[in-house]
Amino acid sequence: MTIRDIVYVGDDRLQQVAAPITEITPDLKQLATDMLETMRHHHGVGLAGPQIGLMARIFVAEIPASHSKPPHPQSGVTYVLLNPNVIAHADTFVEGEENCISISGWRGRLRRPEWIEIQAVDLAGQSVHHKVDDLLARVFWHEIDHLNGRLYTDRITGSDNLWQVENTGVDTTTH
């Protein structure tokens, strides 16, 4: 496994739409493994392809038990999802805080639909279906935004809703 270099805000690749994945190759599987390793290294709960310069529609997500005390009820499941499609979502929005491995030292508050239902493909090529709410919904939205060239900061309104944080390198809520 390899910890990949992060693509940071200001790099055009974070504003580009990632391409659909047409073939699950050994290289892609290796990249997925590296993405998980890179996400964990940065204490993140999600990471999308473009954040390591892979302009393909793949993201990983995982809420570790160490994310909070007591462990978040959604912790302990690892997601590696290709070509995610949003097939339904809540009409109601919830406010929450986010940050991003690619936007080090900042944190913001924004509204996201309360739940999301997606269809995607796993690394075995099987179609998978997930309907998630709470923190995982926020992570899925955040990562799918990355695949469409959008950052959470693009969705923030009002300067009060974006602030600097001390970058300790151990923030456990980065996406």
Contacts with Ni ion, residue ranges (CB under 5 A): 100, 175
**Active-site residue (options: 37, 114, 143, 166):** 143
If you count them, how many residues does the chain have?
175
Tell me the torsion sign for CA atoms 110, 47, 57, 6: positive
Based on the residue annotation, tell me whether 37 is a catalytic residue of this protein. no
- For Ni ion, the closer CB: 126 or 164: 164
Return the ∠ at Cα 69 (arms to 94 and 3), rounded to 5°.
85
State in angstroms the smallest separation of the CB of 168 from Ni ion.
Answer: 18
Burial class (CB in 10 A: 0-12, 13-18, 19+), 22: exposed
95 near 110, Cβ under 8 Å? yes
In the complex, the smallest distance separating the C-beta of residue 23 from Ni ion, rounded to whole angstroms, is 26
132 and 112 in contact (C-beta within 8 Å)? no
Output 8 or 25, the one with its CB closest to Ni ion.
8
Comparing CB distances to Ni ion, the nearer of 42 and 175 is: 175
Q: Report in angstroms how near the CB of residue 102 gets to Ni ion at its nearest.
A: 5
Residue nearest to Ni ion (CB): 100
What are the residue numbers of the active site?
A: 143
